[in-house]
Structure 1
Amino acid sequence: MTDIAGRLDAVRALMRERDYDAFIVPLADEYLGEYLPEHNERLRWISGFTGSAGMVVVLADSAAIFVDGRYTVQVRNEVPTPLYELHHLIEEPPATWLAQRLSAGGRAACDPRMHTLSWYRATARTLEAAGHALVADSDNLVDHCWTDRPAEHVAPALLLAQRYTGLDSQDKRQQIAERIAAEGGDAALIFASDSVSWLLNVRGTDIPCLPILLSFAVLRADASVTVFVDPRRIPPGFDAHVGPGVTLYPESAAEDFLMGFGGQRVLADPDNANAWTQLALAAGGAQLVERQDPVLLPKACKNLVEVQGARDAHLRDAVAEIRFLAWLDAEVAAGRLHDEAQLADTLGEMRAANDEYHGPSFSTISAAAGNAAMCHYNHENAAAPGRLQMNSVYLVDSGGQYSDGTTDITRTVAIGDPGAEVRRMFTLVLKGHIALDRARFPAGTTGTHLDALARQYLWRYGYDFDHGTGHGVGAFLSVHEGPQRIAKAYNPAALRPGMIVSNEPGYYRAGSFGIRCENLVVVRECEAEGETPVYGFEALTLVPFDRRLVDVELLDDAERAWIDDYHQRVAERVGPLLEGAERSWLEQATAPL
């Protein structure tokens, strides 16, 4: 059994040595990426929590963990409540809570490599207003206490050919350098590893699901770039691949380099880059100019080659997904009710049959019956994987990383007859999915403006879901990519042609069932009579929705037509790539309503 109490005691001993009254542990590492390599799972080590968002605050005689609405059930199952208080990450911000809990003149420490500069400044202000201090300490306390910490995995990166990227690295660097110069900058901090990977046309192999080269960089207005990266991650042929103007340094040289920009204007994103890099730039006399990462928007707006690559990747992915769904129906009909792990493994094997496949884009959510009510459930973290149950539903949210694209799809499947109430809720969710897919909107529209389209039918009856409706997706990069997003919370990023987003409304009834209908879509220009450009969505995902879960009486004529048209396109595109029983299954699954 994991000794969480012993780990907390070890951290508290170091806190006493350094005169800290609190120590903050985020679910992050020095790269601030979504997925962490095993050796950087510090929050999991100190708490046992395995979710994808959270923060721990350790005090001298207590501790608290903060998670969002996706994990309120999971956190109770994983974190020992005698040792931890449980709080909501959004409703009870950790900094506010900490300011109230510290004794007068308290000192709270954090590792500035693990937090954005915006978070660091805001937390410092909150604590200072209450008479406390935030102390930056990059000599991380957890690292000293984690005696059996896994070794870091280091492997050479992949060089991504221009047939996948559409532009070579020199052209990209020139394009971004012109943006830096236009902003009056001498250089820009390109902190996010996926931005560096996109800029250099490389992909990493060190982190499962996230094909980024762990690194950060500084790009100058003359298009030269300095990259800080473990030299063991640089493959043969790198220099020729990226072209002239790229200098590599080990990360240990970063502090001296960053402090050498005295008097220069350096663009940096306080919401995206860690505090440590920007504090070092400021300490050296650089003038920090707060700007969004200049790579973020060009990376998000896929070029024609990248969009076609996404279409091709989704077609291959559809073959694997449809083969899996056909197999699943046959297994259920034969009375073989597999467990969640077997189902996830089978789907993964079907994807892996493709030569362009590099691995999953995230850990498959394979959730049977009541487990599907936890929208980010992971069978690998359960005491034992659940098993399919007759007269229920199975939710599978999965995706793949391919050389030409990243996929993410959720399908909810009937196992036997789940009943009229499940069909009603599924249809309300699907109606929201259709409404969003059919949306037409003027240039300048954000995902926030569109979010209610997907929720309207649930709202009408007093239902909702506690997650975003859509997230951005990269091109053989992160399955969760900004700046675009579709959610209730305000997001200023306008949707633009070439952006890929998910369309994934859902509904979850605790202990009973969960439903989600997810496709990936790409923003495209539409014909319009007026003078304002109008955009819409093109569905990239090509997999049928389960017609057995549709209550046709709840659909209007336009919604019925949408489902039939979508299924016809699926049949026409994917059908010729299937044979035998799988092709017959698809014909039945895409039959008109």
Structure 2
Amino acid sequence: MTHAHRLAAVRRTMAEYDINAFIVPHDDEHLGEYIPPYAERLDWVTGFSGSAGVAVILADTAAMFVDGRYTVQVRQQCDNTLFSYHHLIDEPYLNWLITELNAGDKVGFDAHLHSQHWYQGAQEKLAAHNITLVPIAHNIIDQHWQDRPTPNSHPALLLSQDYSGQHSEAKRNRIAQGLAEQHIDAQLLTQAEPINWLLNIRGRDIDCLPVVLSFALLYQDGSVQLFADPAKFAGLDLAAHAGDNVSLFAVCEFEKHLQMLGTQKSRVQLDPTTANAWSALTLSEAGAELVFAADPCMLPKACKNQVEVNGSRSAHLRDGAAVCRFLSWLDKRLSQPHPEQEHEGTLADKLESFRASHPEFVEPSFSTISALGPNAAMCHYHHLNGTPRTLGQDAIYLVDSGGQYLDGTTDITRTVAVGEPDAEIKKLFTLVLRGHIDLAQARFPAGTAGQQLDALARMPLWQQGYNFDHGTGHGVGHYLSVHEGPQRISPKGSMVPLTSGMIVSNEPGYYREQGFGIRCENLQVVQAAHLDGDIPVFEFETLTFVPFDRRLIDENWLENKHIQWLNQYHRQVWEKISPLLEGDDLAWLEQATRPL
């Protein structure tokens, strides 16, 4: 079935439901960033495979909305005779809908796939134009997706306290105490990451995201009802691991327990930005009193304890050795006959093989972005979306990759010379690297948010008339999601202060459509800076140890402080990674870490 046929089928059902528009987000019922194959409805109806976007389907037109990471990819994957293209941030899709619809029209949506916050705002915004938001009980896409994948049933993992650093009961009691103080009867948890963190469990329900997909209710006495596939816990003693007051139920029982809370007139707290509208509506309609507040698991999950930080340090050393072995192999392969036999896909596979040689490696932390030449201009490019580009025709190669280890999650981007980069590419690479160094060296007072630091990484580019259309840094979990909140470093978004134990990426870049892409990324953990001053100050400790490509550096665009930082960083790379390498790889590292 072509995408034109799929659109036609959806429109027929829209007419049967008497709705004038239907919204298709890239989300599942847990509203996390990564979704399982059975929830890839946006891809099914549009062909767009990116990790963020929204389609809006009307009777005679349709539109795709994506952010700056996907403006190139959406044009390659979505038929422009079926969809118009729009920037998700600059032209919000509700605004576009209002211009396309008439008073009295109805907009259909699946309440499982939208947050309560979105629902409240969208309902009010559309109502101002006499447009009605209509929940659709059975998703229209699902009615036509004949070969829709079924959810998997991989076994759950009970994560040892040797890795988590804290027992589940201690985490639950800490959060439950806050609920009791606020006279909250129960906390609704719908995102997988906080639930898995709270109970010290992990899973394989989604590629690259080691979670058990689930819902949970945390009560003010510290007890938890977990709603998941019981088959995933077969043979595991969840109560012995997490505590006797943790009960496991099938997901199909979730609605009944929400209704019971309503019948009991309970005060139920939920995060309106992460809880789906369906669960909020179910509770409210059953009689529960809803209390809206940030998910109380998010901040303690983001502030890694010392065991988690030490585990992350260890994971990054392992990971750094694997990436160095790959870069050593790549340089050697370029000097051998027929490098064109290698392409973006074989390069990604080779890198993964080096990571997989470590017994602690579980899986990649995201799909490797292995991009040559113009493909690197797409920030979230994936070689499986088209014909992989071969070695030998481009000056630079961008590889953004990471690993999930039992003791930590990694994410690193290196841009390397695979041909003859010209002076402009070297200038731009050096400006990006300079911004990376400026952010890495930052010291900032307690209470400072990532939004206030973002300009440090952009300033070298701004001063020469360049910029990049994505955030500078995202939070990273501990053997959890490679993208974690609430912390981030971005021109817009979170004003949550950066504090001890938070792990964030530092990844400025530059992208030229149809030309090339550049990005320099390390992970950093926030630590207290022990200074002589009279205010508390934080700084970043770098976790990632892999050389930056000296062949791409134009020292004319660096100040002495940047050269000093880079030389010191490369000394650390040598000291930390050289004991893990041997032979040609060790010789490569020695060359790659020579001082400027």
How high is the TM-score relative to the length of structure 2?
0.98
Q: Is 1:352 aligned to residue 356 of structure 2?
A: yes
Counterpart of 2:192 in structure 1: which amino acid?
A: S
- Residue of 426, 435, 446 corresponding to 2:429: 426
- 1:4-39 deviations in whole A, cap 9, x for unaligned? 111111111211221111111100111112112111
Which residue does the alignment assign to 2:451?
448
1:12 counterpart residue number? 11
What amino acid is the match of 1:377?
Answer: Y
CA contact (8 A) 2:72 2:513 kept: no
Q: 2:383 aligns with which of 375, 379, 387?
A: 379
Write the distance in 2 (CA, Å) between the matches of 1:380 and 1:159: 33
Work out which of the residue numbers 487, 490, 493 in structure 2 matches 1:487: 490
Residue matched to 1:266: 268
Distance apart, 1:390 and its partner CA: 4.9
Q: Which residue of 2 aligns with 1:364?
A: 368
Q: Which residue of 2 aligns with 1:560?
A: 563
Distance in 2 of aligned mates of 1:6 and 1:490: 38
| Residue identity (%) | 53
Q: 1:343 to 1:26 in 2, by over 3 A?
A: same
Task: Name the residue aligned to 1:154.
Answer: 153
Q: 1:327 aligns with which of 313, 322, 329?
A: 329
Aligned twin of 1:283: 285
Any idea what SS the aligned residue of 1:223 has? coil
Q: Deviations over 1:310-366 (max 9, x none)?
A: 000000001100000000000112242421001000001110111111110000000
Cα distance in 2 between the residues matched to 1:271 and 1:306? 27
1:29 corresponds in structure 2 to 28
Aligned amino acid, residue 210 of structure 1: L
Query: Do the aligned residues in 2 keep the contact of 1:180 with 1:294 (CA within 8 Å)?
Result: no
Which residue does 1:56 correspond to in 2?
A: 55
Question: Where does residue 200 of structure 1 map in the other structure?
Answer: 199
SS at match of 2:461: helix
SS of the aligned residue for 2:18 comes to: coil
CA separation in 2, counterparts of 1:64 and 1:325?
41
TM-score, structure 1 normalization: 0.98
**Does the 8 Å CA contact 1:368/1:389 hold for their aligned counterparts?**
no
Name the counterpart of 1:539. Answer: 542
CA–CA distance in structure 2, aligned partners of residues 487 and 429 of structure 1 = 16
Partner of 2:111: 112
Amino acid at match of 1:127: L
Matched, 1:257 2:257: yes
Q: Which runs of 4+ in 1 moved over 3 A?
A: none
Q: Contact 2:372–2:394 at 8 Å: present in 1 too?
A: no
8 Å Cα contact 1:546/1:589 also seen in 2? yes
Q: Of the candidates 504, 526, 530, which is equivalent to residue 527 of structure 1?
A: 530
Pairing 1:241–2:241 present:
yes
- In structure 2, list runs of 5 or more residues that go unmatched: none
Quote how far apart the aligned CAs of 1:453 are. Answer: 0.2
Contact 2:55–2:64 (Cα < 8 Å) also in 1 = yes
Equivalent residues in 2 for 1:96-245 (5 A)?
A: 96-237=95-236, 238-245=238-245
- After superposition, the C-alpha distances for 1:196-251 in whole angstroms (9 at most, x for unaligned) are 00011111112110111100111011000111111122242222211211112212
- Residue 375 of structure 1 and its aligned partner are, at CA, apart by 1.3
Structure-1 separation of matches of 2:242 and 2:499: 28
CA distance in structure 2 between the aligned counterparts of 1:22 and 1:193, rounded to whole angstroms: 30
Residues in 2 aligned to 1:578 and 1:416: alpha-carbon distance in whole angstroms: 26
Specify the alignment match of 2:318 in structure 1.
316
Q: More deviation in 250-259 or 310-319?
A: 250-259
Is 1:457 aligned to 2:460, yes or no? yes
For the 8 Å contact 2:28–2:39, the answer to whether it is kept is yes
- Count how many residue pairs are aligned between Structure 1 and Structure 2: 591
1:260 is paired with a residue whose SS is helix
Is the Cα contact below 8 Å between 1:367 and 1:394 reproduced in 2? Answer: yes
Q: Which amino acid letter does the alignment assign opposite residue 280 of structure 1?
A: T
Amino acid at match of 2:495: P
TM-fit CA distance, 1:60: 1.3
Relative to structure 1, is the Cα distance of residues 83 and 390 closer, same or farther in structure 2, using a 3 angstrom cutoff?
Answer: closer
**Which consecutive residues of structure 1, in runs of 5 or more, have no partner in the other structure?**
none
Shift of 1:391: 5.7
Distance 1:381 1:432 in 2: 31
**SS at 1:127 equivalent:** helix
**Alpha-carbon separation, structure 2, partners of 1:532 and 1:283:** 49
